Amino acid sequence: MKIRPFFLLPILLFTVGITSAREVPQANLESYQPWSENTVHSFENLLVQDGGRVKPIYSYARFTLLQFSGKSTARFASNDGEKHSLHYSEWLLDVLFRGDVAKELPIFVVDDSAVIVQIGVSPKSKRDRYSYSELAAGRAKLADLGAEYAEKQRKHQESEKDPQYELERVEGMILTLGRNISAFEYLLGQFSFARKGELLVNENILPPELLKLAATLDPIEMLDKMPEMTLGELVQVIRQPDTGDEDSRMFAGALRLFFFYANSARGLSLISPQDNEDETWISASDAMLNGLESKEIRPWATEQLKGLQSLIEASGEDEATFQKALTQFSDDQREKATPRGEGTRSHLEVQLYRGKYFMYALYAFVFAFVIMAFSWFSPGSKFGRIMLLIASLIALVGLLLDVYGITLRCIIRQRPPITNLYDTVLFITGTAVLLGLLIEYFTRLGVGTLIAIVAGVLGMFLSMKYEAKEATDTITQLVAVLDTNFWLATHVTIINIGYAAGLVATLIGMLYLAGRFFVTLAGKEAKDFFKVLTRINYGVICFCLFFSLIGTVLGGIWANYSWGRFWGWDPKENGALMICLWTLVILHGRMAGWIREIGVHMNAIVLGIIVTFSWWGVNNLGVGLHSYGFTEGVWGTLYASWVVLGVFLLMGVFSWIDERAKKSARREDSTPKEAEPTSD
């Protein structure tokens, strides 16, 4: 019976159905006016210092929206029935310059409606996205609960993870939501000082007389006229009891308002420092408070604040004016930053995210898989061979996209390919795909391409999931011990090549065991094919041993240089050691005659379990010198993957039992009837 590709149709329809059935959250907006492309482009090039480095605001917007929403686009429908999908930089433009609109956008993801119920707001569905305005009614309750759970979390850390202080799932979500709302409020209130009394957030904490004062008070002008005062003195004056004197009441009120504006403007460091020796950029809040503290820097601080004010003023006019103001601001920033060597590669960072190389790599691998599937309809035929070649070439394109993205990341941060856990995903995926394609080049069996495609799909999918889950910048600054390009380029790179080879061995093992299982079930044989698979896997395991062993010893030498000991039985070191040991078990077990074909592949599956434990698991034990790679919720995924690998092991056991039964039957057939079995 010929297999027709019709079985793909229901899958396609199901996928399309699921996609189209996804409801777009409703925003309480009559209509939505999108920003022009030029405005967005001008905005993207602004520089901001965040996470210890100067980066384009484009990246900052991306990870901020990911953190709030779990997605890098804000999708919603306005009341006029139109659906919108905002790019993260458009969304941040709204937050900073059209706060009233941003407050209505449903961007806060809540995975469990119990969170919403607990803060006293009416929930929508079990998992949904809410706007700031929708959550506003529960803001006070959210703050109270957030403070309570933050304290609990602190105790949990201080008590070395005492279970009584462990946060429940919903408590953790409330804490996260509270922090996200708070971060959003800081963004909304960033430029309140320049809005002439238009307060977008926290206006309820100000008494009516201050709200009235806010309409007339210009904090920048005020700064110019005020006496020198430290933050401590400012707080002291604000806290002084009311003396009944109108002037001092007015003065205290003005100071309260100044403090309110300064406090709202924290967090977004858009201003490069006055002193060229100083590396720390400042926010509008810092400019206000530093200016208040010293008359010497006041003119400079005032000038910076006026620069920001001009942006706000221009945002109220036509878009061309606003775009011009943004460009001017960006030019001013770069004029100061470039001589300091800051932001010089920000255009590459924008290119990296705009290019979506890793997403397109995933598409390429998926597409290659579909093409490859066509080759199975007629394996060995000309059509099959052409399909296989096309699939291999598309997989190569996927690999090149991955490599290009990795290279851009290397150039942006001037570091070797791997500096954090996210980088390992990209690098290991690329290495595994390359290995698969090399296997294909040498064997021309289709196996290598399949391995490359599967590794590519899984790896790229994992990278996207990881990025969305962590929702923090993946181009990170390094802790002191990692500040060495030599060891990052040698030990870290080599050990990760070892991981990749271990995972390729696992994939080959899975392919072999599944193949053997189904071939056995079908009562057929494909001995030669399986023998070649075993030889390939043996080679890959040797490759894995070579790189894991060299990488592990190099890691020891690095540890000896930085910590004073070659080996400390640290979990990460042990993970790498276990990979070396298990590959040695396979090689020696094979020489001992204990491990044959099925054994090699079953042990390759065990190797996969060890590699995933070493790669992800040990970071999450919470002990040792390498625990900086902690990832929330990774154990569930690891256990699931081990269960899947366990299923393949069971298939192996089945095939092994079947093989032994067949061998024993053959032996019985070939034994002369009169021969008696020997006894000990």
Partner 1 sequence: MANKKIDWSPKNWPKLLFQLFTSFKLATVVLVFMTLITLYGTLAQVELGLFAAKKLYFHSFFVIHDFWGTIPMILPGGLLLMIVLFTNMVFGAIIKSRKRWRGAGLLISHTGMLMLLASGFVTWAFASDGYMALYPGMKSDRVESYRKWQFEIVPLKDDGSAENVWILPSDELSSIRPDEKRVYQTDALPFSIVINGFSINATPVPLSAPISASAKGKEIDGFKLVPQDPAKEAAANFPGCYVEFQPKEEGAKPIEAIISAYSAGFGPGEKPMPFQFEVGGQKYGALLAKKSWKVPFEVHLDEFIFDRHPGISMARGYESKVTRLEEGKPEKAIEIKMNEPMRYEGFTFFQESFGPAGSQPGDRMYSQFAVANNPADQWPLYSLIVTSCGLGIHFLTMLVQFIVRSRKKHAPAKS
Residues at the site binding partner 1, with contacts judged by CB under 8 A:
49-53, 160, 269, 279-281, 442-443, 477-481, 483-484, 487, 535, 539, 542-543, 545-546, 549-550, 553-554, 556-558, 560-571, 574-575, 577-578, 581-582, 584-585, 588-589, 591-594, 610, 618, 621-624, 678, 680
Q: How far is the CB of 486 from partner 1 (least distance, A)?
A: 8
- Cα separation, 75 vs 590, in Å, equals 56
Q: How far is the CB of 607 from partner 1 (least distance, A)?
A: 10
- Strand pairing class (73-77; 83-87): antiparallel
Phi and psi at 227, nearest 5°, equal -70, 160
Q: How far is the CB of 680 from partner 1 (least distance, A)?
A: 7
Q: Helix, strand, coil % (nearest 5) of the chain?
A: 70, 5, 25
Which residue lies nearer to partner 1 by CB, 5 or 52?
52
Which residue lies nearer to partner 1 by CB, 281 or 369?
281
Q: How far is the CB of 391 from partner 1 (least distance, A)?
A: 21
Report the alpha-carbon angle 640-170-188, nearest 5. 110
**Amino acid sitting at position 556:** G
- The tokens describing 338, both together, are 């470039």
Q: Which of 176, 201, 205, 173 is nearest to 187 (CA)?
A: 201
Q: How far is the CB of 128 from partner 1 (least distance, A)?
A: 34
Per-residue three-class SS string for 320-364 = HHHHHHHHHHHHHHHHHHHHHCCCCCHHHHHHHHHHCHHHHHHHH
Which residue lies nearer to partner 1 by CB, 251 or 561?
561
**Amino acid sitting at position 28:** N
- Cα separation, 307 vs 299, in Å, equals 12
Which residue lies nearer to partner 1 by CB, 54 or 257?
54
Give yes or no for a contact between 85 and 73, defined as CB atoms under 8 angstroms apart.
yes
Q: How far is the CB of 307 from partner 1 (least distance, A)?
A: 20
Which residue lies nearer to partner 1 by CB, 312 or 580?
580
- Cα separation, 482 vs 423, in Å, equals 14
Which residue lies nearer to partner 1 by CB, 594 or 639?
594
Which residue lies nearer to partner 1 by CB, 427 or 582?
582
- The tokens describing 586, both together, are 């396979």
Which residue lies nearer to partner 1 by CB, 39 or 420?
420
Which residue lies nearer to partner 1 by CB, 448 or 456?
448
Q: How far is the CB of 100 from partner 1 (least distance, A)?
A: 30
**Amino acid sitting at position 378:** S
DSSP states of 94-118: HHHH-HHHHTTS--EEES-HHHHHH
Which residue lies nearer to partner 1 by CB, 367 or 566?
566
Per-residue three-class SS string for 276-310 = CCCCCCECHHHHHHHHHHCCCCHHHHHHHHHHHHH
DSSP states of 513-579: HHHHHHHHHTT---HHHHHHHHHHHHHHHHHHHHHHHHHHHHHHHHHHHHTS-S----HHHHHHHHH
Which residue lies nearer to partner 1 by CB, 326 or 602?
602
- The tokens describing 294, both together, are 């010293």
Q: How many CA atoms lie within 13 A of 235 on its CB side?
A: 5
